[in-house]
Structure 1
Amino acid sequence: MSPAGNEPGTAGHSVGNAARLIDRAALRDRYAEVRATTERLCSPLEPEDFNLQTMPNASPAKWHAAHTSWFFERFVLCAHDPSHTVFDERWEYLFNSYYNAVGDRHCRARRGGLTRPTVGEVMRYRWHVDESMTRLLERESTPPEALALIELGLHHEQQHQELLLTDILHGFWDNPLLPTYDAGEVTPEPARDPGEMGFVAFNAGVRTIGHAGDGFAYDHESPRHRVFLEAFEIGDRLVTNAEYAEFIGDGGYARSELWLDEGWAAVRGEGWRGPLYWHRGGPPGDRDAGEAPRRMFTPRGDLALDPHAPVCCVSFFEADAYARWRGCRLATEFEWESACAAHAGCGVPAGGNLLESRELRPLGAVERTGSSPIRQAYGDCWEWTRSDYAPYPGYKAPPGAVGEYNGKFMCGQFVLRGGSFATPRSHLRATYRNFWAPATRWQFSGIRLARGGAEA
């Protein structure tokens, strides 16, 4: 999901396709639902939590809540509702993320120091924007280009909903007390054994990649184009904690031959010994995974390491090293899209551990079914691919500030596919491209193996 550790990668294909019909009444209902979800995700937080920022790449929950409102005010209301009164003109400097076309902005690494505006003022800002947005959505004369921008803004906010959770978890991990974000009403049960990993084979041939439907997609999911794939096999489920622990036990973090050079430098420089939130259960402040980690920190709290759940919060470098240790590789994003669309279509099938399940942690793979041999294609963990984040043939960024969303970040990132337990279902599709820098570990990212093909 994200430009250089900022936001999940997005830009409005819908903005470039404003002529397509968008149901205004349905969009109004969706607006209310998405905005309410953000506030629900904020509800477990105490006032002191809203300013928490433990690294430059993360942002405080208060900033996420305000920035998503600023997006609607700046790009929709200021352009399409003359009756709207800007809440506070000074806030544009605070809550602009990276839009150079809009103007200068506050230092991202210092967002956590903004004790003012208060949480209450930010929530009043949200309600002020909501009032104007509701009025605009009820107006039959609202033009199609405004509806397209609203649709983009809703997907933008859904991305920030996941970022809110990843950033809060990182902040709580930095607290020696390991506070729980949301314990839930039921104690999490361990996942069932998913059985031995199988591989699903695909023949060589030409595949068509990219968004083709009439629904929303980001600009970087198009143009639709053809690629040739050699015959390949892809894992039928994600790699589990137990399987990854074997890699650690075999000295995986001490064997330079398994790692890309930049990844090995990160292992040595950062002291990586396991996935980000694994630890051995020592005294407060002890975050060492050690040789035999026993605990994993999740939004549901500090839990016993579940051997059958998917390994989560690993970097591209770790995923690549593990795959090499297994004698496999990571799939390309084109192999992933071809395989998962072939068995599930372009939409997201029923089931899958996504935000709506409210599990707030990765779950084990369900049993195989004949109709869908590829398990966990959507949800649980984002899946690193071997593909650089690059433009599709013929890609052009949209004009204006929203065109800064994706194109300028197409350097030094790798693509992830599939979504996580924190991704909203209505936000996903088979062509969705997330992207992060290869050393990123605080996102909910896991591993699916592949073998054969051109890189065998």
Structure 2
Amino acid sequence: MILKDSYLNTRQKFVTICKSLKTEDYSVQPKVFVSPPKWHLAHSTWFFEQFVLSEFKEHYKIYDEDFAYLFNSYYNNAGKRVLRPNRGLMTRPTVDEVYQYRNYVDEQMVEFLNQDPSEKVKKIFELGIQHEQQHQELFYYDIKYILGHQPTFPTIENNIHLAEIEQPSKWLKIGEGVYDIGHKYDTFCYDNELGRHKVFLHEFEISDQLVTNKDYIDFIESGAYKNFNLWHAEGWDFVQQNDIVAPEYWHKVDGKWHQYTLQGFLPVNLKQPVSHVSLYEAYAFAEWKQMRLPTEFEWEVASKQIDYGQLWEWTNSAYLPYPNFSKAPGALGEYNGKFMINQMVLRGASVVTADNHSRSTYRNFFHPEMRWQFSGIRLVK
């Protein structure tokens, strides 16, 4: 696919998945970790304006000098920015103005891409495409949180479904040995996947299935949320202080568990994998089953034998750099490296992940208390 087509297809997809939003949906920020849809649309546009057009397109005219301040995220090298908790306070620019901004940048990018940019620019361009697709996934996290915490549980048009797990779990044995870890192909990857290296693994067995809602209800009904012996100290504090008794979006109605999904408020489907759980909950469930979570290296080695992609899978690995990790200079070097502390790795992909983000070496990462992402549990013994 030529660069222009890749760009236009990716950009149009974001517009398409937002088409059923109401104007009022675009600017809501119920929590600090939730970004408004309007901000996502503008920020992903600013990325191309900041790192491609402003740097490499001759005589490029910035659309609006204020937008860099409004829609920069965490790139300190790119200048000052609105603080993350304040993204939902912006009623201006309007939604229409944000779409006008997207159209302007798209026209400028198409014109630029017709000029056969350099290899250096192509690498930044590809990062911009991947970045846009990441924000399309984040959009689903955020809009689900925005709508899933409203009294009437509204929804949007979508085709997002978790597959049912029909077969009992099987245990796949992985032999003891030294294994290669990290990205090795001449294809796109993030810098945190590089630094291919060897690790020694003891023999282990990993489930070929994710933990189901039925399994998790058994965990709840056993009194697990009241049993401190199952939890990390931080996890126990987290569920106690926040009065957590079930996964995100779960509610008990007339004695039966229901959950908010992107299809609406429905009875919990017992055959689907449990989703929207924190690392703390995943760990406690594993303790309850007298098993454990895989390390990210165990997961990567086993990935050839498991069917993944329904939910991001928590691992018991801290997010740390691989050997010989190096980051790019300037703002783009802030993409991953500076977050390598106090976060845990998730592997795989989810039903809201772009197709080309699903690879066995992809290292997603979140703080252990986060539940709004599409996260699930796979066990090891």
Counterpart code for 1:207: Y
Amino acid at match of 1:116: R
- Which residue number corresponds to residue 78 of structure 2? 102
Q: What's the counterpart of residue 219 of structure 1? A: 191
The 2-side partners of 1:293 and 1:74 are apart by: 50
Distance 2:158 2:83 in 1: 33
Q: Name the SS of the counterpart of 2:151 in structure 1.
A: coil
What is the CA–CA distance in structure 2 between the aligned matches of 1:153 and 1:428, rounded to whole Å?
A: 17
Per the TM alignment, residue 195 of structure 1 is displaced from its structure 2 partner at its CA by 2.6
Is 1:200 the counterpart of 2:172? The answer is yes
Aligned to 1:367: none
Structure 2 Cα separation of the partners of residues 195 and 217 of structure 1: 33
Q: In structure 2, the residue corresponding to 1:303 is in which secondary structure? A: strand
- 3-state SS of 2:346 partner: strand
1:281 Cα shift? 3.2
**What whole-Å deviation, never above 9, does each CA across 1:341-382 have from its counterpart, x for those lacking one?**
x33xxxxxxxxxxxxxxxxxxxxxxxxxxxxxx23x1x2110
Does the CA contact (< 8 Å) of 1:182 and 1:301 recur in 2? no
CA distance in 1, matches of 2:145, 2:286: 26
Q: Does 1:438 align with 2:356?
A: no
Q: Distance in 2 between matches of 1:26 and 1:247?
A: 50
Of the candidates 56, 63, 66, which is equivalent to residue 87 of structure 1? Answer: 63
Q: Which residue of 2 aligns with 1:328?
A: 291
| 1:234-313 → structure 2 map (5 Å cutoff) | 234-281=206-253, 292-313=255-276
Does 2:23 match 1:67?
Answer: no
Residues 183, 301 of structure 1: 8 Å contact kept: no
Distance change in 2, residues 1:266/1:394 (3 Å): same
- TM-score normalised by length of structure 1: 0.81
Q: Distance in 2 between matches of 1:67 and 1:265?
A: 35
**2:113 paired residue among 137, 140, 145:** 137
Deviations, residues 110-146 of structure 1 (Å, cap 9, x unaligned): 1111010001100010011111111111112x11111
Counterparts of 1:17-416 in structure 2 under 5 Å? 26-140=2-116, 142-182=117-157, 192=164, 194-281=166-253, 292-340=255-303, 342-343=304-305, 374-375=306-307, 377=308, 379-416=309-346
Indicate if the aligned counterparts of 2:165 and 2:273 stay in contact, CA closer than 8 A.
no
Q: Conserved in 2, the CA contact under 8 Å of 1:59 and 1:111?
A: yes
Q: Is the 8 A contact 2:165 2:209 kept in 1?
A: no
Moved more, 166-175 or 200-209: 166-175
The question of whether the paired residues in 1 share the 8 Å contact of 2:164 and 2:273 is answered with no
Tell me the SS of whatever aligns to 2:40.
Answer: helix
Q: CA deviation at 1:193?
A: 5.2
Q: Percent identity?
A: 46
Name the amino acid aligned to 2:347: R
Structure 1: unaligned runs, 5 residues or longer? 1-24, 283-291, 344-373, 452-456
* Aligned-partner Cα distance in 2 for 1:390–1:249: 36
- Aligned residue identity for 1:393: P
1:427 to 357, 375, 380: 357
Q: Which has the higher relative contact order, 1 or 2, with Cα contacts under 8 A spaced 6 or more apart?
A: 1
Offset from partner CA, 1:65-106 (integer Å, 9 cap, x none): 000000000001111102321100111100000111111111
Distance 2:367 2:223 in 1: 25
Shift of 1:194: 2.0
Secondary structure class of the residue paired with 1:105: coil
Q: State the shift of 1:182 in Å.
A: 2.4
8 Å CA contact 1:169–1:181 kept in 2: the answer is: no
Aligned residue type for 1:436: F
Distance 2:3 2:319 in 1: 30
Separation of aligned partners in 1, 2:317 and 2:144: 27
Q: Say if 1:68 and 1:157, in contact at 8 Å, map to a contact too.
A: yes
Given the two structures, how large is their TM-score scaled by the length of structure 2? 0.97
Partner Cα separation in structure 2 for residue 220 and residue 422 of structure 1: 21
Structure-2 residue corresponding to 1:351: none
Q: CA offset at residue 26 of structure 1?
A: 2.2
Write the letter of the residue equivalent to 1:67: H
Supply the AA of the counterpart residue of 2:110. T
SS at match of 2:77: coil
Query: How big is each residue's C-alpha offset from its partner over 1:380-399, in whole Å with a ceiling of 9 and x where there is no partner?
Result: 11000000000001101111
Give the secondary structure class of the aligned counterpart of 2:284.
helix
C-alpha separation in 2, matches of 1:245 and 1:276: 13
Amino acid of the structure 1 residue aligned with 2:210: L
- Corresponding position of 2:347: 417
Partner deviation per Cα, 1:309-351 (whole Å, 9 max, x = no partner): 00000000000000110111000000111111x33xxxxxxxx
SS at match of 1:280: strand
SS in 1 for 2:260: strand
Return the alpha-carbon distance in structure 2 between the equivalents of residues 450 and 60 of structure 1.
37
Q: What letter corresponds to residue 359 of structure 2 in structure 1? A: R
